[in-house]
Structure formats: C-alpha cells, structure tokens
C-alpha cells in the first residue's frame, strides 16, 4: 500500500477522496499498488467526515503527516502561498514526494520548490495547476520533448471564457454575466484573479517555463483582463470574422527571445481556439516537428482537477516501486530574455467616438501615420448627433507606437473618447 497525506479537503481535495474511492480497483491496478489516504489536514474536519473518512484519519497538525514514515506522498490542496510553501518544502526535506494543484505557489516560488525536490531526490508533480483536468504539463515535459516549441496559446481561465461566451451569445453586459459565473461557482470568491487575467497569467508563467526551458514567474507576464470588453466590441468582432477570447500567449521570436502575455484578443473564428466555449479551457501548442496540437477539456472543478492530481499520484507510486525519483526535475536550464510589452508588435482593433465632420478622419489618420502605425481598414459604424463611431484595424505595429498614437489622440478635441483597444491574435493562420 502507498500512503498519502492530504492537505486540504475543499473542492479539489474532496474530489481526490471521492475519485480514489470510486476507481479504487482500477487505480491500484494501474499504479501497481493500492493507494490510500492515511492522514488529512483540514481546518474543518466535518468536510472530511461527510465524505465517509474516519475521524482517526484527521491530523491535528502538519507534523502528524510530516512525522509519519508510512506517508510517502503529500498532496497539497490547501492553496495560497503560506503555509503551503513551508509545508511542501518540509515534506520534501523529509523525503516525501509532493503533488500540488497550487498555481499561485509555483508561478512565484517554482525555483525553490524544484531546487529542494532535486536536492532531496523527490518527485514534485503539478499537472492540475494549469488547466485543471487537461493533461498539458506532462505532455510538454515528455511527449513533446523532442520539439522546439514555437508558441503556446491558451484559454486558461474558465470563468472569463464563460463570461465572454455568454456576452457573445446573448449580448449580456459583463457585470451581469460575472454575477452568474459567481452564482454557478466558476469564479473565485474574489473574482479579481479571474477577470483581471491574474489566474491565466500564473498558468502561462508555468507553461512557458516548461515550453521554453527558462524561469518565467508571474511578474514576468504582461496582463490585461476582460473588464473593459463590451457587447459592442464582441458584436463588431463577429461582423469582422473574429471572436473575443482572453488568451494567454507565449511565443519565441527568431532570436529566441520570449513574448509572454495575457490579454483579451480578436481571434479569427477559424482558429481552433475560437470554438472553445463556456467554462472549457484549451491549450494550443505549436512545435517544430509535431506542428499544431490542441489540448481541450475542463480546466477546473472537483473531479476533473482530482483526475489530474491522482494521475500524478499514480505516476509517483510507480516510481516508488521501481526505486526511482526526480526523473523529470526542473527543466529551466536556459536564461532567455523576456521582452517588455513595448518591444512587441501586434495588430490592433481600435473603437473610438469622434466628431462627425469633414477632415476628422484625415486628422486621425495623420496621427497614426506620424507614429508609424499603418491602418489596414476603417469603418464608420454609427452616427448620432455630430458624433461617429469609428472602427480601425491596424497592420502589425510596435506597441510603443500604438501607445504614443493613442496618447496624442486622447488630447484631440475631435476625439470624444477611445472606447476600446484590443489586440488581434492568430491572424497569421488566416494567411496560410
Ligand atoms: P478550497 O478552498 O475549496 O479548499 C481548500 C481547503 O483547505 C479548504 O477546506 C480550506 O479550509 C483548507 N485549508 C486552507 N488552509 C488550510 C490550513 N492551513 N490547514 C488546513 N486546512 C486548510 O480550494 P480548492 O480545492 O478549490 O483549491 C485547492 C488548490 O487547487 C488551490 O491551489 C487551487 O488554486 C487549485 N486548483 C483548484 C481548481 C478548482 O477547480 N477548484 C482547479 C485547479 C487548481 P477553509 O475553507 O476553512 O479555509
Ligand atoms: N477560477 C479558475 C477558472 C479555476 O475560472 O478557471 C481554475 O483554476
């Protein structure tokens, strides 16, 4: 029997308890040994008792798990930075293997976690930390290891994908759909991490570190959320052949430098990620040998996330039986440059409200031209009173040039307001 110490019996922890019970026989056959939870650390023991766990399983403190020589695997599902970090590091120092779903922790403290796992020759697995039930960490580390990865683009946050899908299907405003997502339990208690793009930024930091073999932390990722997206932007996107998605993008350029960012984007409706709707997540990977690969599924939730956690546990159980560990350790053996957002280029959609009279368009075009921003198309959508709504799409331009243009435009009397500026992504596939 392989014994687990479980930290946290909330949404994911209770999923682990249930799935271990539900598929006990299959898991034991596949792992080569039975797997059993020996101790659980949870603030509210009632949560565990309701799942059928015995009171004797409840640990009074973390030390009951750390000091127990029978426990070989610690599964951390309490979330947050502390005490999770201290608990994991101490478990590793005691020779215990660790499985976690904690993206916040890995995106900020990945280095110390990997160094400690290597130093103490223990396994450190974290498949569930990105895109819940979708296998992506192991495929990147193992199945795609022969490729040079060119890009990883993900829809990595279920809440924002749900909101954007509902806004586009039913034309509902952002605030209304967010309230729905909260009521359905998709959003975090404080949904800022979802809608501000922080959750997706943590996940793409983890994926980029693996895909590009360089340490990428949360603070390296440029982040914009979806709070400024309106039904009008979504409608115009659709008219132009795009969908609006919150994308997490990691790419390397021809010099091996990296572009890592999270922002809402106009994505061609023919792109494989455009069909990913509701709370579903997907990760699109482009490798030099394999070409395009897309991983799709449930990025959150009790059983999908438990599926990823227990997949890791089973793999560690196999390693234990063969007396091997830390086989795939830290993969960050390079030190790549991560470019600042102003050094990047993008195509842009710009929606602005301007005075509706002769010469206005020429004035606006002049500002873009002076800043090296080349316009691909302009549409005047509506006029009311003496105001007109303009939709502009640019060619690929330097971010800094776009910012400089917008700063000038904002100060012009003919520009009532810049309603929104959204990048285009994935358009190169349209040209193929
Ligand atoms: P929950 O808040 O539902 O569960 C965490 C549980 O741990 C709670 O019961 C909490 O108690 C308990 N807990 C917190 N701190 C301690 C402590 N110091 N000692 C003992 N018990 C403690 O979180 P989730 O299950 O949703 O998430 C767990 C982890 O999985 C997080 O890192 C999350 O980011 C990650 N994750 C979650 C997904 C999901 O779908 N929910 C998907 C992918 C990853 P209390 O509530 O009283 O604080
Ligand atoms: N709040 C997250 C989401 C949960 O909406 O995707 C999974 O990390």
Paired with 153 in beta bridges are: 249, 284
- 16 in any annotated domain: yes
Kind and range of the H or E run holding 99:
strand 97-100
Told to judge if 150 belongs to the known catalytic residues of this protein, a careful annotator would answer: no
pTM of the full structure: 0.96
Same domain assignment for residues 111 and 176: no
Nearest listed ligand to the Cα of residue 42: 1
Alpha helices in 273-427 (DSSP H): 302-322, 360-370, 399-410
C-alpha 12 to ligand 1 mean position (Å): 7
Going from the first residue of the chain to its last (432 residues), give the mean pLDDT of each consecutive group of 10, the final group possibly shorter: 97 96 98 98 96 96 98 97 98 98 96 96 97 96 97 97 94 88 79 96 98 97 96 94 98 97 97 96 98 96 95 98 89 95 97 94 97 95 85 97 98 97 89 51
- 123 in any annotated domain: yes
Please tell me the residue having the least CA distance from ligand 2 atom 4.
300
Angstrom CA distances, 211 to 109, 153, 250, 256, stand at: 18, 11, 9, 12
Total number of domains in the chain:
3
Residue 429: predicted pLDDT: 67
Residue 139 Cβ contacting ligand 1 at under 6 Å: no
- 250 in any annotated domain: yes
Residue 101 Cβ contacting ligand 1 at under 6 Å: yes
CATH number at residue 218: 3.30.360.10
Residue 431: predicted pLDDT: 56
Q: Which of 289, 321, 353 delimits the end of a domain?
A: 321
Residue 432: predicted pLDDT: 46
Same domain assignment for residues 191 and 166: yes
User: Ligand 1, from 15, 79, 161: best to mutate by most atoms within 8 Å of Cβ?
Assistant: 79
Closest atom of ligand 2 to 203 CA is: 8
Same domain assignment for residues 69 and 202: no
Same domain assignment for residues 201 and 214: yes
Same domain assignment for residues 220 and 122: no
Please tell me the residue having the least CA distance from ligand 2 atom 8.
300
- Containing structural domain, residue 218: 147-297
| CA dihedral over 350, 396, 166, 218, signed as positive or negative | negative
- Rounded-to-integer distance, Cα 308 and Cα 133, Å: 5
Residue 382: predicted pLDDT: 74
Same domain assignment for residues 169 and 129: no
Residue 172: predicted pLDDT: 87
- Rounded-to-integer distance, Cα 200 and Cα 273, Å: 15
Residue 342: predicted pLDDT: 96
CATH number at residue 351: 3.30.70.260
- Rounded-to-integer distance, Cα 128 and Cα 88, Å: 16
- Rounded-to-integer distance, Cα 346 and Cα 393, Å: 11
Nearest listed ligand to the Cα of residue 133: 1
- 33 CB neighbour count, 10 Å cutoff: 15
Same domain assignment for residues 204 and 235: yes
Same domain assignment for residues 279 and 357: no
Same domain assignment for residues 116 and 158: no
Nearest listed ligand to the Cα of residue 309: 1
Same domain assignment for residues 10 and 67: yes
Residues touching ligand 2 (Cβ under 6 Å) are 132, 157-159, 186-188, 194, 199, 299-300
- 331 in any annotated domain: no
């Amino acid at each position: 029997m392989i014994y687990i110490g479980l930290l946290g019996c909330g949404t994911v922890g209770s999923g682990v308890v249930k799935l271990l019970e539900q598929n006990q026989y299959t898991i034991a056959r596949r792992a080569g040994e039975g797997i059993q939870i020996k101790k659980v650390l949870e603030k509210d023991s009632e949560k565990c008792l309701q799942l059928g766990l015995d009171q004797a399983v409840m640990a009074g403190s973390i030390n009951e798990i750390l000091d127990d020589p029978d426990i070989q695997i610690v599964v951390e599902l309490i979330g947050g930075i502390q005490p999770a970090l201290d608990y994991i590091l101490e478990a590793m120092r005691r020779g215990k293997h660790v499985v976690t779903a904690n993206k916040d922790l890995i995106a900020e403290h990945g280095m110390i976690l990997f160094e400690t796992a290597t130093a103490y020759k223990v396994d450190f697995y974290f498949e569930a930390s990105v895109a819940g039930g979708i296998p992506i960490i192991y495929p990147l580390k193992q199945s795609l290891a022969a490729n040079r990865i060119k890009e990883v683009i993900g829809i990595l946050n279920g809440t924002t994908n749900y909101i954007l899908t509902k806004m586009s299907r039913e034309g509902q405003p952002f605030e209304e759909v967010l309230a729905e997502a909260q009521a359905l339990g998709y959003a975090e208690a404080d949904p800022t991490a979802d809608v501000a793009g922080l959750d997706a930024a943590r996940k793409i930091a983890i994926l980029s570190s693996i895909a590009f073999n360089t340490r990428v932390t949360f603070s390296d990722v440029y982040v914009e959320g979806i709070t400024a997206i309106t039904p009008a932007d979504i409608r115009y996107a659709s008219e132009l052949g795009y969908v609006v998605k919150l994308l997490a993008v990691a790419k390397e350029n021809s010099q091996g430098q990296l572009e890592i960012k999270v922002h809402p984007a106009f994505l061609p409706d023919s792109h494989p990620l455009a069909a990913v709707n509701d709370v579903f997540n997907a990760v699109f990977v482009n490798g030099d040998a394999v070409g395009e690969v897309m991983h799709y599924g449930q990025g959150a939730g009790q059983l999908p996330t438990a599926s990823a956690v227990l997949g890791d546990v089973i793999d560690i159980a196999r390693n234990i039986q063969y007396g091997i560990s830390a086989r795939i350790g830290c993969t960050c053996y390079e030190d790549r440059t991560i470019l600042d957002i102003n050094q990047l280029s993008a195509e842009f959609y710009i929606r602005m409200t301007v005075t509706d009279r002769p010469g206005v368009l020429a004035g606006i075009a002049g500002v873009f031209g002076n800043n090296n921003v080349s316009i691909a198309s302009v549409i005047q959508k509506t006029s009311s009173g003496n105001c007109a709504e303009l939709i502009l799409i640019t060619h690929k331009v330097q971010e800094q040039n776009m910012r400089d243009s917008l700063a000038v435009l904002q100060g012009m009397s003919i520009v009532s307001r810049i309603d929104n500026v959204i990048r285009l992504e994935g358009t190169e596939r349209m040209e193929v």
